[in-house]
Amino acid sequence: MTAAATQAAYIPGFGNHVSTEAVPGALPIGRNSPQRPAFGLYAEQLSGTAFTAPRDENRRSWLYRMRPTAEHPPFRPYEGAQRFSAGDDAGPLAPNRLRWDPVADSPPGTDLVDGLTTMLTNRHPADLDGVAVHVFHANKDMTDRVFFDADGELLFIPQSGRLELLTELGRLEVAPGHIAIIPRGLRFRALLPDGEARGYVAENYGALFRLPDLGPIGANGLANPRDFETPQAWFEDRDDKTEVIQKFMGRLWVTELDHSPLDVVAWHGNLAPCRYDLSRFNTINTVSFDHPDPSIFTVLTSPSTVHGRANADFVIFPPRWMVAEDTFRPPWFHRNVMSEAMGLIQGAYDAKAEGFRPGGLSLHNLMAGHGPDLASWRSASDADLKPHKIEGTMAFMVESCWAYRPTAYACEHAQLDYDQVWSDFPKAKLP
Ligand SMILES: O=C(O)Cc1cc(O)ccc1O
Ligand SMILES: [Fe+2]
């Protein structure tokens, strides 16, 4: 029997308590773990936070599946994904600003797992804190293998080509301009409806991504909870050999099953994958003067243990009106105590005239002086400050309180001349 829904169906809301079943009668009523679940299904809890986490942060779901996850042979090291890295392969961390062109196309026959290139990491999964930034280029569906990440939740940011993520809890279609969150431990396989896909993955080892507080903004604005979409229960009943690859403590491991583990027929709870269309972001900005801090564009935040200091903020720079008067409108020159990794999904970024390409990446670690390049500074300084709409663009930042460490691959492939974008600024002339 196969659940044969052709169109993925979604449930609106962020972190809601959801109940969904792909086969009527599969979901127990009134209890989580009945003595004999319907149809001989197995009840299994998937925890995203400690059992004892405060109620408003507690995330877990109950899964009703055809076979228990526990039934599997030992994992052994996985030898594929050659450009995947635990982040401990480069020398001392230099304080330099770095930028990268989009990663080269993967050879034919590369799926999402093998097409991952780890670029930046900080902390270590064992710390339960930190974030890594990977890029990917894939051109093959994952047909007979699934992946899960025991080290953190995965924030997918496709840049070109759609992803179809078939997860234990349902199916997500994620086009460029959308993001998706896959919880820690959740197994999935990725199909590529366009034949290939490229993008970014932020891997969050720390506290789960949540919507930021809005403070004086009020009850509405930025990413509104109702625009996040969670899939309904879906499963596949496939007794085919399936590889299970997991990331655990920075390394990849593999084992085999004789069936697909995407066999969850029903589930309920508030730990689930979701997707979000970045064009739904309610962008708030100045209508008077000055360029607000980019925190005004925060979509999701993973707090650290220090109040107000994020383990990871996911921030976007979407299309928006620029109306500030007597203001240098692009990002200003600055030095930040936080570390900034940036990517570009579409178009151009207003602080960089060239060199920062869609699919590319930049790194400005803590206290690195950065800001507009010379060309952007000149044109913004001379601009006629009429209302102007920045269109056709979507940049993002994964800002972290922990310094990012470029991997050996990233060090070897960085642009050689990035510092030059900040050369030849004219000296101020004092009276
Ligand atoms: O460095 C960057 O381009 C990101 C950024 C954007 C902005 O508008 C203000 C501060 C900031 O770090
Ligand atoms: Fe910055």
Q: What is the mean pLDDT of the chain?
A: 96
Rounded mean pLDDT, 274-300? 98
Return the minimum-mean-pLDDT range out of 116-125, 210-219, 348-357. 348-357
Task: Give φ, ψ of 39 to 5 degrees.
Answer: 60, 15
Cα separation, 177 vs 154, in Å, equals 16
395 touches ligand 1 (CB under 6 Å): no
Candidate from 296, 334, 367 with most ligand 1 atoms within 8 A of CB, to mutate = 334
Residue 370 assigned to a binding site: yes
Rounded mean pLDDT, 131-143? 98
Instruction: Tell me the ipTM for this assembly.
Output: 0.99
Residue 340 assigned to a binding site: yes
397 touches ligand 1 (CB under 6 Å): yes
First-to-last CA distance in the chain?
Answer: 82
Rounded mean pLDDT, 169-177? 98
Confidence label for 5 from pLDDT (cuts 50, 70 and 90)? very low
Is pLDDT above 90 for 142?
yes
Is pLDDT above 90 for 6?
no
Is pLDDT above 60 for 2?
no
Catalytic residue among 291, 307, 364, 413: 291
pLDDT of residue 88: 83
Cα of 69 from ligand 2 centre, angstroms: 43
Confidence label for 83 from pLDDT (cuts 50, 70 and 90)? very high
Instruction: Report how far apart, in Å, the C-alpha atoms of 112 and of each of 65, 138, 231, 315 are.
Output: 25, 5, 21, 24
pLDDT of residue 4: 43
350 touches ligand 1 (CB under 6 Å): no
Q: Evaluate whether 278 touches 394 at the Cβ level (below 8 Å).
A: yes
Q: Evaluate whether 109 touches 141 at the Cβ level (below 8 Å).
A: no
pLDDT tens, residue by residue, 326-335: 999 999 999 9
**Domains located in the chain, CATH noted:** 10-278 (2.60.120.10), 280-414 (2.60.120.10)
pLDDT tens, residue by residue, 333-342: 999 999 999 9
